[in-house]
A and B are shown apart, each in its own frame.
Chain A
């Protein structure tokens, strides 16, 4: 099925460890984003990309890196995990075409716990 695929679904890290959350979409969407979801705070934008080779920071970028070498993939790297990064992470993509802004397609999320 077409959509946004995130892996892993669950992850436990120790403080200071690094890891990469994977995100892939097969809809040829130009725009991709990473959000984190925390209780009572809705979704907050971490990083986004408007096309291959182009990335930019969102609202809460500290502690995270991204790259976009292909249209399909947009991995999120945690450089040195901290307990404050315990959260649910969502990758999302959408087309940039058309006058009306289209909605996002979301992945099913990665639940990350940092101990």
Chain B
């Protein structure tokens, strides 16, 4: 079956530190992969996506590369800001309307 595994949180970083949040997946075919971000008290927002192997999704300084050989889609940012504090969800979708979400990783960035 399909599933997504994210690194456990919470993660606490100092401002301008490098961020990596690991995500690995299990899928029977060729899924699309997504990262969502949830700010306190809000719904999830699509941060970036990749639809095939070796694609790189990017947005707001965040990047993630679809690695089929390692079944991974790790989220990275070179220099985090306090405003990046949020919960980040990795997700995959292989067929219509079947989305599988990870359990979320909470990030806190301190000045």
Contacts and interface: CB of A to CB of B under 8 A. Distances in A.
Interface of A: 4, 31, 33, 40-43, 45, 48, 50, 90, 92, 96, 100-101, 103-109
Contacts of B104: 42
A107 B97 contact: no
Q: Which of A33, A40, A101 has the most CB of B within 10 A?
A: A101
A43 B101 contact: yes
Query: When A and B form their complex, which 6 residue pairs have the shortest distance between CB atoms, in order from nearest?
Result: A106-B43, A103-B46, A42-B103, A100-B51, A43-B101, A101-B32
A103 B49 contact: yes
A26 to B, nearest CB: 16
Which of under 10, 10 to 19, 20 to 34, or 35 or more describes the interface residues of B? 20 to 34
Given A42-B103, A90-B43, A103 B34 contact: yes
Contact of B96 (A42, A45, A96, A107): A96
B25 interface: no
Contacts, number: 48
Nearest to B103: A42
Nearest to B31: A101
Nearest to B44: A106
A94 B104 CA distance: 21
A33 B41 CA distance: 20
A106 B39 CA distance: 12
B42 A109 contact: yes
Contact of B101 (A4, A42, A105): A42
B33 to A, nearest CB: 10
